[in-house]
Amino acid sequence: MAFREVSVSEIRQVLRLWLGVVPGLPAPGLRTIAGHCGLDRKTVRRYVDAAEAAGLRRDSGVEAIDDELIGAVAEAVRPVRPNGHGAAWDQLLGFEKQITDWVAGDDCRDAEKTDRNRRATLARSRRASRVCQSWL
């Protein structure tokens, strides 16, 4: 599974749509919500299932979506990461000295490009940039 941050506004939007906040219209289905939010249907299903497990019901009002509920949903759908980092981070730790040297030279992105073919773990510039920025 690829890493993706779970956005609070994304969860709130999905749950508001699931509750059917538009007066006079029925609450939409998961596919409709997914299309509207630009998410996968299975992601919407995980958010809704987590919200229901936290006590949200379809006949609840919008006021039921509070920070506590959003926090419970985010905690439930967030992947398990010991020490707050995933497996890719652990792979990059083996290259910490090399990346630190690149950052010290203020040329992290060029170093990624030149080493891309030899080091598959650094191929994604966004991931390597996050690592570089965290070590500054």
- The structure's pTM equals 0.58
Greatest alpha-carbon span in the chain: 61
Q: Which residue, 34, 63, 79, sits at the end of a domain?
A: 79
Distance CA 8, CA 13 (A): 9
66 and 102 co-located in one domain: no
The string of pLDDT tens digits covering residues 9-40 is 899 999 999 998 766 677 889 999 998 888 99
The string of pLDDT tens digits covering residues 66-123 is 999 999 998 888 877 666 677 777 888 888 888 887 777 655 555 555 555 555 554 4
CA 67 from centre of chain: 18
- Residue 1 belongs to a domain: no
Q: Give 128 or 89, the one with higher predicted confidence.
A: 89
Domain membership of residue 74 as a residue range: 8-79
37 and 100 co-located in one domain: no
Q: Which residue, 79, 107, 125, sits at the end of a domain?
A: 79
20 and 64 co-located in one domain: yes
Q: Which residue, 36, 53, 79, sits at the end of a domain?
A: 79
75 and 13 co-located in one domain: yes
Distance CA 127, CA 52 (A): 33
